[in-house]
Amino acid sequence: MGTKSPRLCRSTNPASDGGGTVQKLAGKKILVAVCDSSRTPKQLKSMQEPSRTATGYPAPPFNHPNGGQPPPPSTTAYPYAAPPPYQPHPQYYNPQPYQQRYSPSRSFFRAFIATMICLAVVFGVVLIITWLVLRPSLPHFTITTFSVQNFSTTAQTVSATWHLTFLLRNNNHKMSVTYNVLRPSLFYHSNYLADSQLPPFKQDTRSENTLNATLVAVDAYLEPRAVTDLNAEKSSGSVTFDVQLLASASFRSGSWRFRPRVLKVLCRKVPVGLTSKSSSGQLVGGSRECQVWT
């Protein structure tokens, strides 16, 4: 035989029982125990607990502006009527597409211009490479001897004969120099005195050459102030002159020949020993280096 589950009983008031009968005995209430074997103690406990009420906050009422009425119409309006929408004009339809005409003369002209540009670029690159490889340098000029004879002055003239020797050095390893024109000149304080013309010659690579020149002045005009300064220097024992040489030179290396260049040679303040009682003199202080530029 199986074990029976215990019955759970609860006391109740017959008066509050919906289906029970009120029984009174001697004016006293009788509690009737009701036993229910189909419910568990946990279920009975939940039945005895008071019912819980739901708590929360009510939704606030929606306040519509203007009492729920639609907003009044705007008092402002556009003063002019809106323009009609833009209607683009229909494009003209050309059933035959445009065909570019072929111009032989224009094509030939473009090809000719492109060819000339390419040739110029190639020629320039070749010249630059050749210049970098050869690296031509200007020759050096030095006055080694300088003398004056028959020197005399008047109030506005000067007469004398000058002899001078240049030493030319070509330091280029691969290029020779050809001097086509050589023209030395003599000045005193920027006042011209005399000049001369020398024959052309060729100078080989890494070589030295001497160049002799004779300059003659016969009653050459000289400003009175310059004559006064010259006589003052002569009384001090020496007179300084400026020697200038203009040369047209061409540089050449094998079959490569560069265009002629004008060399300007200037030897400043070359002193010559002269006294007030002498009419001749020699270079004072040794040889003099000259400036060279193109």
Which sign, positive or negative, has the C-alpha torsion 181, 182, 183, 188? positive
Q: What is the pLDDT of residues 118-161, one digit of tens each?
A: 999 998 998 888 777 777 899 999 999 999 999 999 999 999 99
Give yes or no for residue 242 having a pLDDT over 70: yes
Is the distance from CB of 242 to CB of 267 less than 8 angstroms? yes
List the single range of 12-16, 84-88, 107-111 with lowest mean pLDDT. 12-16
Give yes or no for residue 1 having a pLDDT over 50: no
All domains of the chain in start order, with CATH: 8-47 (no CATH), 140-293 (2.60.40)
pLDDT the model gives residue 85: 67
pLDDT the model gives residue 4: 47
User: 22 falls in which pLDDT band (50, 70, 90)?
Assistant: very low
143: part of which helix (H) or strand (E)? strand 140-153
Q: Which residues contact 211 (CB under 8 A, 6 or more apart)?
A: 165, 166, 167, 168, 182, 198
Give yes or no for residue 13 having a pLDDT over 90: no
Give yes or no for residue 94 having a pLDDT over 90: no
User: 69 falls in which pLDDT band (50, 70, 90)?
Assistant: low
Give yes or no for residue 250 having a pLDDT over 50: yes
- Where do the H-state alpha helices sit in the chain? 41-48, 104-134, 224-236
Single-letter amino acid, residue 88: P
Give the C-alpha separation, 217 to 19, whole Å: 167
pLDDT the model gives residue 16: 45
- Listed ranges 7-11, 91-95, 102-106; the one with the highest mean pLDDT: 102-106
Q: Which residues contact 268 (CB under 8 A, 6 or more apart)?
A: 242, 291
pTM (whole model) above 0.75: no
Half-sphere exposure of 176 (CA within 13 A, CB side): 13
Give yes or no for residue 170 having a pLDDT over 50: yes
